Structure 1
Amino acid sequence: MSDPSQACRSATFGLPWPLLNDGLFYNDVVRASDSGLTLIHFYSTKHKNSAPPKGWLQRIQNGQIAVDGEVIRDPDTILRIGSKLVYHRLPWEEPEAPYFLQILYEDDDMIALNKPPGLQVLPGGLFQQRTVLTQLQWWATKPTSSVACQGPHPVPVHRLGRGTSGILLCAKTKLAKTRLAAYFADGTSHIENSSKTSVDLCATRKVTKIYRALVTGIIGEDEVIIKQPIGMVQYPGVAKGLYVATPSGKPSLSKVEVLERDVKKNLTLVQVEIQSGRPHQIRIHLSFIGHPLLGDPLYVIGGHPKCFGSENVEDNFAQDGGFLRPANPVPGDCGYNLHAYQVVLSHLSNNEVIKITAPLPHILQTKQEAQEISTY
């Protein structure tokens, strides 16, 4: 088994975020079916998840939309087939986010990072610049970077929730990205297409992910296998829908092992091996069995959100015309205790087994681990 420390070339990297990001440009071409629509009708129907109608009206009147290279402020302008539309989302100050990343492992194919909680992996929503992807882009352009002369910057091949810390695998080449993506997809396909037990599946996987989590309540069994399907439902503030526990969802499997029970605080420290990669799977599965993650602002017992209440957004929009931040919790909210602790995978070039471990936050250490660290 390979020793990751031998391949690590750098400890940490990261640049402070500028006050404002660069803004964004979104392009559209008017199709035959949209010819004859007004500018406001086009945007308020085709991109209704971006802003309410009054928000789009503000953006048009503010001169943020151009038609065939000309800024148009009249919302009733009639569109013609083939016209090119450009919406300019003005630069904005993104919410606070950490920026330092620790390199746990690096070779010619990939990099394993230790992602801090509070940092988003890929652009989305309010976070378009303050992401792991941006830091990788900046790092790759530095003259001293180990990837500066190897072409495209590294890219994450899977996601961790913004509030989740720990190991994030990133590919340094297109071939590595394809192979790593296949590793993750292969594990999920086994869950979908096989009736094997979790032990059998573990033996066939080329990548194994193990997490640490602190949950509310005392789990009585030492080991729990959770096979609850996970699917999507409509939820205010989440345009594409929210993942929840539902019988109509896709097959999912998590193996939960109890490490310590704190009866006085009514908490259980667990280790979780996921053998499928559904979004928010651990948060959903643990809450489904009655033990939500400590501090989880969204998921409660049963694997569902705290509330499904609708919100009136027609007359309320943010300064840039978009929707206000939802009053209800959303998946990107932080506060829970979940850490991608260990990844074991076959090396992309020689199939050698690589074991990568991310240092544990104090709150997710067993008493023995904490004592060993303090006496080291």
Structure 2
Amino acid sequence: MTDLNESTEVEYIMENEEDNASLEWVVEVDEAGERLDKYVTESFADSAVSRTQIQEWIKSGAVLVNGTEAKAKHRLEAGDVITVEVPEPEPAEIIAEPIPLNIVYEDEDVIVINKQRGLVVHPAPGHHSGTVVNALMYHCQDLSGINGSIRPGIVHRIDKDTSGLLMAAKNDAAHASLSAQLKEHTVTRKYIALVHGNLPHDRGTVDAPIGRDSRDRKMFAVTDKNSKHAVTHFSVIERLDDYTVLELQLETGRTHQIRVHMKYIGHPLAGDPMYGRSKTVALNGQALHAAILGFNHPRTNEYLEFEAPIPEDMENVLHSLRQR
């Protein structure tokens, strides 16, 4: 890691191994003796997959211990390698629901919305309704099917308690184009965040791979085990007492990427219930907003860029800090 006192720009780097094709974990010493089904259930806790579902996976042979099938009650030993091939989801009927959407842009190929805090992007165990997908199905009905029946149109996601811009595809050709742009890192994704502490540098880069946290598999962490390459660029917008307002630009799009990277450099997001400190701001979730989204239109190739203002609850927090 670069010395934080060297200059006004800093780069945080941790080398990465190659991305793994399947989900795999190594049992730590303090996890020895745990039942296989309990271990795997906790590993999928962020997706709310039930223990009953995990037990079905184990019965079907989708979960292996050291390359061999085992029973749900099997007691694990330190060093055991757990491999999971997640089965394709069962087809599920998505019910169209009249959930209000803040539509920023829409045409025959693409729809861009400004998602409110607290809204889940697509149905998942524990969230079968009340999602962005349910709302999109009611609004436009013609969504791409590349991601299957439970995630029609969804090209990328933002966390439930992160607000801001999200694009969805109305047909498979548009979906393929937008997905390719994401893979090639040509989509502009800029976020505004409030983090704890006063960053001494005006801008910087966090280049550190992200994988499951070995100490708590419900979370993610910077790690060189079973991880994926992740890069986040940041610049300081404003310093407020013991907080800093940042603009962050994603180069990659890993689960919880900004939240994990900010914790890694010692400046977790304010209000983050998972990666942050005790609740210190009046927000139901992390102070993170997807403010700018830009991409080439899948049909015309014209570059489009959209901006969404900071939501009122986050703006109120910033105003309060400025008054101190």
TM-score, normalised relative to structure 1: 0.53
- Determine the structure 1 residue equivalent to 2:285: 335
CA distance in 1, matches of 2:214, 2:119: 25
Q: Percent identity at matched positions? A: 33
Is the partner of 2:136 in helix, strand or coil? helix
CA distance in 1, matches of 2:214, 2:173: 36
- Determine the structure 2 residue equivalent to 1:114: 114
The answer as to whether partners of 1:260 and 1:366 remain within 8 angstroms in 2 is no
* Correspondence list, 1:364-375, <5 A: 364=314
The answer as to whether partners of 1:110 and 1:154 remain within 8 angstroms in 2 is no
1:167 pairs with 2:147: no
Query: Alpha carbons of 1:268 and 1:366: their partners in 2 closer, same or farther (altered >3 Å)?
Result: farther
- Determine the structure 1 residue equivalent to 2:220: 243
Is the partner of 2:160 in helix, strand or coil? coil
CA distance in 2, matches of 1:366, 1:127: 29
- CA distances 1:327-369 after superposition (whole Å, capped 9, x unpaired): xxxxxx95111111001211212221111111212465599x9
Question: Unaligned regions of 5+ residues in structure 2, if any?
Answer: 1-36, 42-48, 57-89, 93-97, 144-148, 320-324
What is the CA-CA distance between 1:124 and the residue it aligns to?
Answer: 1.5
- CA distances 1:128-152 after superposition (whole Å, capped 9, x unpaired): 11111111112235xxxxx59xxx9
Which of these residues, 155, 171, 191, is aligned with residue 211 of structure 1?
191
- Determine the structure 2 residue equivalent to 1:82: none
* Correspondence list, 1:38-53, <5 A: 50-51=50-51
Deviates more, 1:343-352 or 1:108-117: 343-352
Is the partner of 2:178 in helix, strand or coil? helix
1:222 pairs with 2:202: yes
Q: CA RMSD in A?
A: 3.5
Is the partner of 2:51 in helix, strand or coil? coil
The answer as to whether partners of 2:174 and 2:299 remain within 8 angstroms in 1 is no
The answer as to whether partners of 1:106 and 1:112 remain within 8 angstroms in 2 is yes
- CA distances 1:98-123 after superposition (whole Å, capped 9, x unpaired): 94210001122100011101010011
Is the partner of 1:182 in helix, strand or coil? helix
- CA distances 1:269-314 after superposition (whole Å, capped 9, x unpaired): 110001001111000111111111001111148xxxx9xxxxxxxx
CA distance in 1, matches of 2:291, 2:128: 27
Query: Alpha carbons of 1:129 and 1:364: their partners in 2 closer, same or farther (altered >3 Å)?
Result: closer
The letter of the residue matching 1:243 is F
Is the partner of 1:155 in helix, strand or coil? coil
Which of these residues, 201, 211, 218, is aligned with residue 231 of structure 1?
211
CA distance in 2, matches of 1:124, 1:233: 22
- Alignment size in residue pairs: 224
1:256 pairs with 2:234: yes
1:269 pairs with 2:245: yes
1:352 pairs with 2:320: no
Which of these residues, 164, 180, 183, is aligned with residue 182 of structure 1?
180
- Determine the structure 1 residue equivalent to 2:65: none
Which of these residues, 273, 286, 289, is aligned with residue 262 of structure 2?
286
What is the CA-CA distance between 1:51 and the residue it aligns to?
Answer: 3.2
